[in-house]
Amino acid sequence: MRSQALRGLLLIVSCASFGGAWAVPARAYAHKVKESVAPPRGWVKHNPAPDHNIVLRIGLPQPNFSTLEKHLYEVSDPDHERYGAHLSKEEVEKLVAPHQESVDLVNEWLETHGIQENDLIRSPAKDWVTLRIPIRLAEKMLDTTYHVWKHTASGDAMVRTTSYSLPSHLHDHIEVVQPTTMFGRFKRSASTISWPEDSETTASLQNLPPIVDTVSGTKVDASCNSTITITCLQQLYNAVGFVPSSEGNSVGITGYLEEFANIQDLQSFYADQRPDALNSSFEFFSVKGLLTHHLPVGGLNDQTLSEAGAEAGLDVQFAFGLSHPIPATFYSTAGRPPFIPDVGTPTDTNEPYTDWLDFILSQSNPPLSISTSYGDDEQTVPESFARRACAGFAQLGARGVSLMFSSGDGGVGDNDPDPATQQCFTNDGRNVTRFLPSFPASCPYVTTVGGTTNIPEVAVSRFFSGGGFSDYFPRPDYQKKAVGDYLAALPKGTYEGLFNPNGRAFPDVAAQSDRFRIFLSGRPVLIGGTSASSPAFAGIVALLNDVRLANNQRPLGFLNPLLYSKGVSGFNDITIGHNSGCGTLGFNATAGWDPVTGLGTPNFGKLKELVIS
């Protein structure tokens, strides 16, 4: 409850904007440090931050999250009686809602700084509060000083601090405030682009007899060893001839960093590889990335052919091409960190996938299978923030959504061949050599997809499938046996001290990830990276959801408990290759699960029987 004194104080606070002068000073509270980090490796502090606006996200505690997690695992376990009984939007929001005391105390604190309800945007469960304020006010509220920091290797700059404080009585009522100590550079998985081989080479390969994949036993066109198409994936993953037919199914792709999915390129792709899909498209949603005059400004949808995004084109062409005619959605989320304050970009924001989470959690019927090919080094995302974002993914899983993330292309951390420029060091001031897991790939509530190449399949070699062990999240029960078996077979002392053997291990699965033929700005190109494997796997999951819906069963939802139990027999085990990085050969692909290709690549013919049994 607000005190009588506070009510009196609020009555005389100036009605001027919170960037202006005060009629009375804000109520004095004793501040205590909430979070502090060492100056991050590779970043140099420059001058204090100039005047600009900053979008703060304040995370309130979710006291019943453990109950939500229990529901998530029960409805995702194929051996549990509640399997498939996903929660509603309202049920999930109730489970993650903060206590009213937390809401009231945070409101009182904000009001003492002149911030009113109409200055705020609240998440559907009211567990996040977002506000756009001058940075000088943010410094006052958080008892800190922001500086411009520059990344020496890339030249990127951002406005951050290494420590912030909160009134001591709010420490139990606020879990995290960002952007403050987050130095993530939020990047797409590294994609390589090349031009298709000449027609004579392609024609010669097409005239060769089909290749028999020794793992799956399927026959695959010889040309698939130089160019991956929809037909190649259908053949390799045993999905030839399957036509989705169920109502209520859906598939989605997330787009960030001003990547646009070009419809004309999609039509060219369909004409080339999926003619039955010609003249079909996808639904587009523009997701807010910042606040201007308290109104959301969304992601753009520039259909100029020359501005087409390679990542977005790859994602939509293969995810939607594999799953056609399942209804498809593309989400364009605004925001492009790192941030340099200038006249054209007057507002500093967080990593935009949290904006997308706010948006998608507010929707009554999100897509059932969603792929994302973006992320950060885990250590550049403060653990408090990583846990809260990961909890958002858990909410979607509990509602029946399958989330796929690419594992990244840095091997075990950094596949730069020059040891002098490798960045495999801790970010905590100790500068200790360490493998670098990725986030959100390391979140235990998502399905992380590694990369393979060639037929028969091996771990991708032209770049290296990201994989390893989280330093933030403990290994979940669903993968303890599979990962335990791998670690038990690992020669004693291998990479000791370079990774956390008790951490959540990734990737979970894999798919082809090199030489995908897409159309970009009107021309065919070949593109590769785990940014290809994630949407490809998401397309397969959309097909599996169709199988379940056709049998009057609920969608798959969070996949991992299924994959690591009865689903294992539906995967092609990849046993050749490794994921180099940090001056090492990384981990090896081997029989069973491994931190290069996970459980392996999907065999749709087997999985479609397993998911309804």
- What percent helix, strand, coil does the chain show, rounded to 5? 30, 25, 45
What would you measure as the largest C-alpha separation in the chain, in angstroms? Answer: 85
Look up residue 342 and give its two tokens: 């200038």
In the prediction, which pLDDT does 126 show? 95
DSSP assigned state of 464: B
CATH number attached to the domain at 188-610: 3.40.50.200
The reply to whether 574 sits in an annotated binding site is yes
Question: How many Cβ atoms sit within 10 Å of the Cβ of residue 576?
Answer: 16
* Domain parsing of the chain, residue ranges: 4-62+97-181, 188-610
The mean pLDDT value of the chain amounts to: 87
Positive or negative: CA dihedral 45, 347, 121, 108: positive
Quickly count: other Cβ atoms within 10 Å of residue 19's Cβ: 13
From first CA to last CA, the distance across the chain in angstroms is: 54
Torsional class of 454: left (φ above 0), alpha (ψ -120 to 50), beta (otherwise): left
Tokens of residue 573, six digits: 């085990």
Predicted TM-score (pTM) of this structure: 0.90
Cα angle at 343 between 332 and 351, to 5 degrees? 35
Reply yes or no on whether the pLDDT at 20 is more than 80: no
- The pLDDT assigned to 602 comes to 98
d(CA 387, CA 178): 13
Give the whole-angstrom CA distance, residue 444 versus residue 532. 21
∠ at Cα 241 (576, 611), nearest 5°?
Answer: 65
The residue from 531, 533, 534, 580 that is catalytic is 531
Cβ atoms of residues 172 and 188 within 8 Å: no
355 carries an active-site annotation: no
CA distances from 283 to 19, 320, 326, 327, 608 (A): 39, 11, 12, 8, 27
**From 35, 127, 265, 315, active-site residue:** 315
- Residue 276 appears among annotated catalytic residues: no
Please give the DSSP secondary-structure letter assigned to residue 594: B
What is the reported pLDDT for 22? 38
**Residue appearing with tokens 């809602």:** 97
SS3 75: helix
Q: pLDDT tens across 314-355, in order?
A: 999 999 999 999 999 999 887 554 455 544 444 555 566 788
- Is the Cβ–Cβ distance between 333 and 188 less than 8 Å? no
Strands 295-298 and 347-348: unpaired
Contact present, 570 and 610 (Cβ < 8 Å): yes
- Are the C-beta atoms of residues 575 and 471 closer than 8 Å to each other? no
Q: Which among 130, 250, 255, 100 has a CA at the least distance from the CA of 186?
A: 255
Residue type at position 174: I
**377 among annotated binding-site residues:** no
Rounded Cα–Cα distance for residues 532 and 513 (Å): 5
Write the secondary structure of 567-580 as one string of H (helix), E (strand) and C (coil): HHHHEECCCCCECC
Spatial contact of 510 and 454, defined as CB atoms under 8 Å apart: no
Candidates 111, 311, 355, 358; catalytic one? 311
> 10 pLDDT band (50/70/90 cuts)?
very low
Please provide the size of the chain in residues. 613
Residue 118 burial (CB count, 10 A):
6
Give the position of tokens 């996200």.
Answer: 57
Establish whether the linkage from the previous residue to 325 is cis, with ω within 30° of 0.
Answer: yes
Is residue 202 pLDDT above 60, yes or no? no
Q: 196 pLDDT band (50/70/90 cuts)?
A: low
Q: Annotated catalytic, 165?
A: no
Under a CB-based contact definition with an 8 Å cutoff, are residues 525 and 549 in contact?
A: no
pLDDT classification of 23: cutoffs 50, 70, 90? very low
**SS3 assignment, position 147:** strand
Rounded CA-CA distance 270/264 in Å is: 10
Q: Is 409 annotated as a binding residue?
A: no
For 71-130, what is each residue's pLDDT tens digit? 999 999 999 999 999 999 999 999 999 999 999 999 999 999 999 999 999 998 999 999
Q: Return the amino acid letter for 12.
A: I
